[in-house]
Amino acid sequence: MKNLKSNCLQSALIISLIMVFVSCSKKEDTVHGFTSTKPGAVPFVTTFISDINADTLSTYTTWLQNMQPRFMLSANRRNIAVSIKNKFIQLGLSNTVLDSFYITNYYKDTTYNTWQYNVIATITGSLYPDSLFIVGAHYDAILNVPGNPWIASPGADDNGSGVASLLEIGRVIKKRNFVPKSSIQLIAFGAEELNMDGSNDYTTKAMLGSKKIKWMLNNDMISFENHPNQPDWKVNIMDYANSAALRVSAENYVSMYTDLGKAHDTTANKEGDSYNFYLKGYKALFFISSASTPYYHQMQDVVGNCNFPYCREVTKVSCAMLVDQNR
C-alpha cells in the first residue's frame, strides 16, 4: 500500500507539473486582446506589437482633429505638415523631411495652384538601405456639402486614425531601438482627398530614383467599428491585380497577431493612396474598417465616434509585417 500511495503521489506530482507547464505555455495575454500562442506567431513580434496602445492612438488622433481645418486648400496646410514632421522627430525619428510638390486642383468651379507637402520619416536599413517597406496614410481632410472644409474638417477616422497609426508604429520602433534590415518609411501623404496628389507625386519620384519599393500598406479609415463585441470586429484588406499574394500574407498576420476577422471587398480599392502605388507597378494593400461609417466626410467624424481598441488591432498588422520582415 505504501508503494502504491507513493506511486500515486509521484504520478500526481508529475501530472501537476505537466499541467503547470501546459498552463504556462498557453498563458493568454488578455490585456492586449489576443492570445500569445496563436499558431505561427513569433514571440519577438508578439512582444514588439504589444506596445501598440489604444490611448496613444486616441491622443494622436485628438491632436490631429484639433488642427482642423486640415483641408488641403487651407492656408495652414504647410503648418500641419511641419507639425506632423516635428512629432515624428520628437518620437526619435530624426530623419523626417517635408517633400513638397506643386499642383493644380479644381474645386467647386475654381482653379487652385498650391504647394503641397508629404511628410516622410525614414528608418534606414542596416543591410539593404535601398530597399523600402512603406506604411502610409493621408493627413488632409474634407467636409461634404453643406459643410465648409475651410472652416471645419475634423477627419478623425478619415484619416487622423491612419496618421496616428504611423506615429504609434514610429514610437514603438524607437522605444525598442529597432534597426531594420531594409529601410522603413512612414509617410503622411498630403492632398489625398481631391485627387490623391501626394501619393502620385511620391510614386512618380520613386520611379525616377534608385530605391526598390518592396511593398506599401495604406492605413485609411481604420478606427470606426460599431460592433460592440471584439469577435465581430473585421478589417477589410483591399488588394490589386499584382498584390493578391501580399494580401494573403497580410491575412496570415491578422490571424497570428490579432483577433480581428477579415474581409476582402475591393470595391473601393481605387479610392486611396495605395492605388497610385499599384498604378506604378508596386505591390500595395489598402487597410480599412469593414464597418461602414455614417460619419464619412461629416462634422461627426470626431474622436468620440472612433474605436481605438479596434484601431490598435489594425495598427498591429502593419507593425507586425514591418518588424517580422525586417528583423
How many other C-beta atoms lie within 10 A of the C-beta of residue 87? 22
Binding pattern to Zn ion, positions 177-216, x when CB under 5 A? ----------------------------------------
| Region from 44-52, 58-66, 156-164, 255-263 binding Zn ion, contact rule CB under 5 A | 156-164
- Residue 153 sits at the vertex; the CA angle it makes with 151 and 155, to the nearest 5 degrees, is 170
> What b/e readout covers 217-240, taking b as 16+ CB neighbours within 10 angstroms?
bbbbbbbbbeeeebeebbbbbbbb
- Contact in structure between 176 and 51 (CB atoms under 8 Å): yes
| Region from 4-12, 54-62, 157-165, 254-262 binding Zn ion, contact rule CB under 5 A | 157-165
Q: Is 251 in the site for Zn ion (CB under 5 A)?
A: no
Q: Minimum distance from CB of 141 to Zn ion (Å)? A: 8
Question: Which residue from 271, 281, 234 is spatially nearest to 255, judged by alpha carbons?
Answer: 234
| Region from 20-28, 36-44, 155-163, 181-189 binding Zn ion, contact rule CB under 5 A | 155-163
What type of residue sits at position 215?
A: W
Binding pattern to Zn ion, positions 115-154, x when CB under 5 A? ----------------------------------------
Question: Which residue from 244, 240, 245 is spatially nearest to 276, judged by alpha carbons?
Answer: 240
263 or 268: CB nearest Zn ion: 268
Size of the site for Zn ion (CB under 5 A): 3
158 or 301: CB nearest Zn ion: 158
Which of 158, 225, 239, 301 touches Zn ion (CB under 5 A)? 158
> CB neighbours of 155 closer than 8 A, spacing ≥ 6?
64, 65, 68, 70, 140, 141, 142, 301
Which of 65, 68, 74, 159 touches Zn ion (CB under 5 A)? 159
Q: Is 220 in the site for Zn ion (CB under 5 A)?
A: yes
220 or 301: CB nearest Zn ion: 220
Pseudo-torsion of CA 33, 36, 39, 42, nearest 10°?
Answer: 120
What type of residue sits at position 131?
A: S
| Region from 97-105, 124-132, 217-225, 227-235 binding Zn ion, contact rule CB under 5 A | 217-225
Binding pattern to Zn ion, positions 260-299, x when CB under 5 A? ----------------------------------------
Q: Minimum distance from CB of 197 to Zn ion (Å)? A: 13
34 or 224: CB nearest Zn ion: 224
Residues 39-78 that bind Zn ion (CB under 5 A): none
158 or 201: CB nearest Zn ion: 158
Q: Minimum distance from CB of 138 to Zn ion (Å)? A: 6
Q: Minimum distance from CB of 28 to Zn ion (Å)? A: 35
CA-CA distances (angstroms) from residue 164 to 88, 95, 127, 210, 211? 11, 18, 28, 29, 26
CA-CA distances (angstroms) from residue 74 to 55, 69, 190, 266? 29, 7, 12, 32
Measure the CA–CA gap between 136 and 193, rounded to whole angstroms.
14
- Contact in structure between 68 and 153 (CB atoms under 8 Å): yes
> CB neighbours of 80 closer than 8 A, spacing ≥ 6?
67, 70, 139
Binding residues (CB under 5 A) for Zn ion: these are 158-159, 220
